[in-house]
Chain A
Amino acid sequence: MPQSSNEQVVEKVAAVLNKHASGANKSEAMVPNRDFTALQETAWRLSREIIEMTTKAGSGHPSSSLSMIDILTALYFGGVMRYNPQEPHWEERDRFILSKGHGAPGLYAVLAEAGYFNPALLDTLRQTDSPVEGHPIMNRLPGIEASTGSLGQGLSIGLGHALAARLDKRDYRVYVIIGDGESDEGQIWEAAMAAAKYQADNLTCILDLNQFQQTGSVNKVMPSLEPVVDKWEAFGWHVREIDGHDMEAVLEALRAVKTVTQQPQMIVAHTLKGRGLSPFEKNDVNRKHGEALKPEEAEIALAELDEQRTWAVYDPAGSRLPNNERSANRLAKEIVTRQGETGKPMENKS
C-alpha cells in the first residue's frame, strides 16, 4: 500500500485537527450509552479500523489493540464513562489511561468514534507531522490523558488522578488498562500496594490478559504471573474475572465495580489477540505482536471479521445468545488450558 507523502499528511492533519467529527451533541456525550447491538457493531467497526490503519501505516500493534477493543467500546459507549469530547479537559470527566501504550491504535479508533477528533486522522497513524503517534502522547491529541509506551507507569498515574479527585471532592472515576506482559514491571505492583493503602475506590484497572508478549506466551516468558487473580486479591483489591470479549460480561463488571467502596478494583479480562482472525491466530509465537498485517493478510482478517458480525444477521432485536454461547465456551476451554500449563487450579471469580 503506498504511503502518503509528508505534504499529504500535513494537509490532512491541518484540515481535520480540532474539528471534531459530527455526531453526539453535548448532553448525549456526557455518558454515551449505546444499546447492546450497537455496541457490538461499534466494536466490530473499530476492529476494522485498527486493522486498516496499522496496515496502511505498515507497522504498529493491531493484535494488542484488538484484544481490548470490546472493553474500550464498553467503557466509552456502554454507559460507563462520563466525558465530553468538545471539552477534553473538563474537570469532572472520568479519566481513561492506556498504560499498555502500544495498544494506541485501539484507543485512537475509540477517541475518533467518540468525537475527540476526525476519524480521517487515523489514516495518518505513525507518519511524520501527525499527532496520531506510534504510542499515545498527551497534549498532542485530544482525549489522551497520559503519555505512555514505557510500560508499567499508567496505573501509578491513574492513582495520582484518583487521589486528586478525593482532595478536590470530585466524583470522577479513573480507568486504566494494563497488559499481562506489562505486569512484569515492578512498578505495577508498587502502584497496586499504594492504591490499596489509600483505598482508592474511584480507581478501576482492567488487565488485558491476552496471553502473549513480545517473544512468546506469558506462560513461557513469566509463568509466575499466575495465579494473577489471587495476586491482586492478596494486594487488597476487589477482583472480578471475565471474558473480555463477552460484551455483556464486560458491561456487567464495569457497572458493578462502581459500587465497590474502600477498595480499588481489578477486572481480569481474558482476551485474545485477534480473536478468530487467522492471520493472527496461526502465529503461535506471539500472535503477531507489534506487527501490522500485510495488505493480503488484512484482506483475509477483514473478511473473517465480517463473518463474526452475527448480530447483524441473526440478531436484529439485540439478543446476545450467539455471541454469549461462543464466549462462555471459549472461557471454559481457556481455563482448562491454563490449568494444564500452570499446574494450578484457577477459579472463575466473576
Chain B
Amino acid sequence: MTTAKSTQTKSTEQALGLKEGPATRDAFGEALRELGRTNAKIVVVDGDVSNSTRTEYFAKDFPERFFNMGIAESNLVSVASGLAAAGKTPVAASFAVFLLCNAYDQIRMGVAFPKLDVKLVGSHSGISIGEDGPSQMAIEDLALATSFPNFTVIVPADAPSTKAATRAMFEYEGPVYLRTGRPKTAIIYANDGTNGSTEEIPFEIGKANQLREGNAVTIIACGIMVAMALEAAHTLSQNGIEARVLDMHTIKPLDNEAVERAARETGAIVTAEEHLITGGLGDAVARLVAMRQPVPIQFVGVNDTYAESGEAQALLKKYGLTASNIVDAAKQVIARKS
C-alpha cells in the first residue's frame, strides 16, 4: 500500500501552523479498537477491506467479534441488521462508495427503516483518494446517506475529531453513517488528549464547531475542506474580509441554529464539501437558509461530474476544491449581498 499524501497545501500548514496528522480512517480504526475493550456489544462486519478501513486493528484484538463477509456489501449490511436486532452494535465498514451505492437498499430496509443500531463506516471518501480513480471515489455518499429517514451522518475534519466522533457515535443509539478519508489530514483540533493535553476536543453530534469568528461571510465546511476553509479565511482576512468558519461535522441532523445565526449575522454563506454540490452539505444548508433566513450562498464541491485518476492535490485543484476556490466563492457571495 502506498503512503497517501496530505491533501493540505504547504501554504495551509505554513499560514495556520497546522501540522499534518494521520488519515481520519486511521483515527477511526484506533478509536474503534479502544472502544472494543470496554464495549463488548461492538462487532465488526467487513467487506474484505479491513486493511483499508482500518477495522483490522479491532480484528486483531477481537477476532471472535470480527466477521469478514467477503466482497459482498449487500450481505454484510443485512447481516449487521440481524446482529443489531439480536442486541449487538455492529459496525458495517467498507469503501464509502461500495457501502452506500451497492448496499443502499439493504441499508434502507434493514437499518434506516427499523432504526437499528448499526454504524456504517465508509472510508476512501471523495476525490482525494487520487490514483485509484473515479470508480473508487464516493462523491454521492452524503446524498444517499442523508436521504434516509432516521439517519445521522457525520463527516469529521481531522484525526482527533474522528476519534471523538467515533466515541460519540457509539454513545448514540441508532443508525449512523461515519465518513472517513484515505489521505493524511491536517490537525485542526490539537487538544485531543494525545499530546499531554487532557482537554477533550469539542464534539457533539448535530452541533457545529465555530473555528473562527467573522461578520462578512460564513464558510460552512466538512471533512478535509475544513482546513481549507481556515486557510481561505486567513487569506480573506489579509484582504480585510473577516470570515466566520463552521466545522459542520454533522450533516444530518444539521445544526439549524448555527446556520440560521450565520445567515443572520454574516448575511452570506459559502459551503465547502468533498462531494457533489448536490445532495450533501450545500443542499442541506440551502434548504434551511431558504426557509429561515434567506441570504446568498455559493457552493464549493464537485460540480455535477465524475473525476479521474491522478495525484490528490492536482485533482482537488482541477475539480475546484481548494482554499483559493473558497476565497473566490466568498468574494462572489459577498458581492451578491443586498
Q: Which residues of A contact B (CB under 8 A)?
A: 91, 137-139, 145-150, 152-154, 156-165, 167-168, 186-187, 190-191, 193-194, 197-198
Please report the C-alpha to C-alpha distance between residue A167 and residue B105 in the assembled complex, in whole angstroms.
27
Q: A161 near B43 (CB under 8 angstroms)?
A: no
Q: A198 near B78 (CB under 8 angstroms)?
A: no
Q: A160 near B84 (CB under 8 angstroms)?
A: yes
Q: A167 near B84 (CB under 8 angstroms)?
A: no
Which of B67, B81, B82 has the most CB atoms of chain A within a 10 A radius of its CB?
Answer: B82
Residues of chain B with a CB closer than 8 A to A198's CB: 67
Interface of chain A, main secondary structure: helix
Residues of chain A with a CB closer than 8 A to B77's CB: 156
Kindly identify, within residues 94 to 140 of chain B, every residue whose CB is under 8 Å from any CB belonging to chain A.
105-106, 108-110, 113-115
A/B pair count, beta carbons within 8 Å: 106
15 more contacts with CB within 8 A, not counting A146-B110, A164-B86, are A138-B114, A147-B110, A150-B109, A153-B78, A154-B78, A156-B74, A160-B79, A161-B83, A163-B43, A164-B88, A165-B86, A187-B72, A190-B72, A191-B75, A193-B72
Kindly identify, within residues 289 to 306 of chain B, every residue whose CB is under 8 Å from any CB belonging to chain A.
none
Q: B82 near A157 (CB under 8 angstroms)?
A: yes
* Interface residue from B64, B86, B106 paired with A153 (Cβ < 8 Å): B106
Q: A145 near B85 (CB under 8 angstroms)?
A: yes
Identity of the chain B residue whose Cβ is nearest the Cβ of A101 in the assembled complex? B109
* Interface residue from B74, B83, B105, B114 paired with A160 (Cβ < 8 Å): B83
Q: B43 near A167 (CB under 8 angstroms)?
A: yes
Asked whether B70 is an interface residue with its Cβ less than 8 Å from the other chain, the reply is yes
Q: B87 near A168 (CB under 8 angstroms)?
A: yes
Identity of the chain A residue whose Cβ is nearest the Cβ of B115 in the assembled complex? A139
Q: B81 near A91 (CB under 8 angstroms)?
A: no
Please report the C-alpha to C-alpha distance between residue A167 and residue B63 in the assembled complex, in whole angstroms.
12
Residues of chain B with a CB closer than 8 A to A165's CB: 86
A196 to chain B, nearest CB (A): 11
Residues of chain B with a CB closer than 8 A to A159's CB: 75, 78-79, 82
Asked whether B69 is an interface residue with its Cβ less than 8 Å from the other chain, the reply is yes
Q: A160 near B106 (CB under 8 angstroms)?
A: no
Please report the C-alpha to C-alpha distance between residue A152 and residue B80 in the assembled complex, in whole angstroms.
15
Residues of chain B with a CB closer than 8 A to A91's CB: 87
A169 to chain B, nearest CB (A): 11
Please report the C-alpha to C-alpha distance between residue A167 and residue B40 in the assembled complex, in whole angstroms.
10
* Interface residue from B64, B82, B109, B114 paired with A161 (Cβ < 8 Å): B82
Q: Which 5 A-B pairs have the closest CB atoms?
A: A160-B82, A156-B78, A164-B86, A190-B75, A190-B72
Q: A194 near B69 (CB under 8 angstroms)?
A: yes
Residues of chain A with a CB closer than 8 A to B67's CB: 163, 198
B147 to chain A, nearest CB (A): 16
* Interface residue from B43, B85, B108 paired with A146 (Cβ < 8 Å): B85
Identity of the chain A residue whose Cβ is nearest the Cβ of B112 in the assembled complex? A147
Q: B85 near A138 (CB under 8 angstroms)?
A: yes
Asked whether B65 is an interface residue with its Cβ less than 8 Å from the other chain, the reply is yes
B175 to chain A, nearest CB (A): 13
Q: B83 near A164 (CB under 8 angstroms)?
A: yes
Please report the C-alpha to C-alpha distance between residue A157 and residue B64 in the assembled complex, in whole angstroms.
19
Please report the C-alpha to C-alpha distance between residue A259 and residue B251 in the assembled complex, in whole angstroms.
50
Q: B87 near A187 (CB under 8 angstroms)?
A: no
Can you list 26 A-B pairs, Cβ within 8 angstroms, ordered by A? Answer: A153-B105, A153-B109, A154-B78, A156-B106, A157-B78, A157-B79, A159-B78, A160-B78, A160-B82, A160-B84, A160-B86, A161-B83, A162-B82, A164-B82, A164-B87, A167-B64, A167-B65, A167-B88, A168-B87, A187-B72, A187-B74, A190-B70, A191-B79, A194-B72, A197-B70, A198-B67
Residues of chain B with a CB closer than 8 A to A164's CB: 82-83, 86-88
Q: A194 near B74 (CB under 8 angstroms)?
A: no
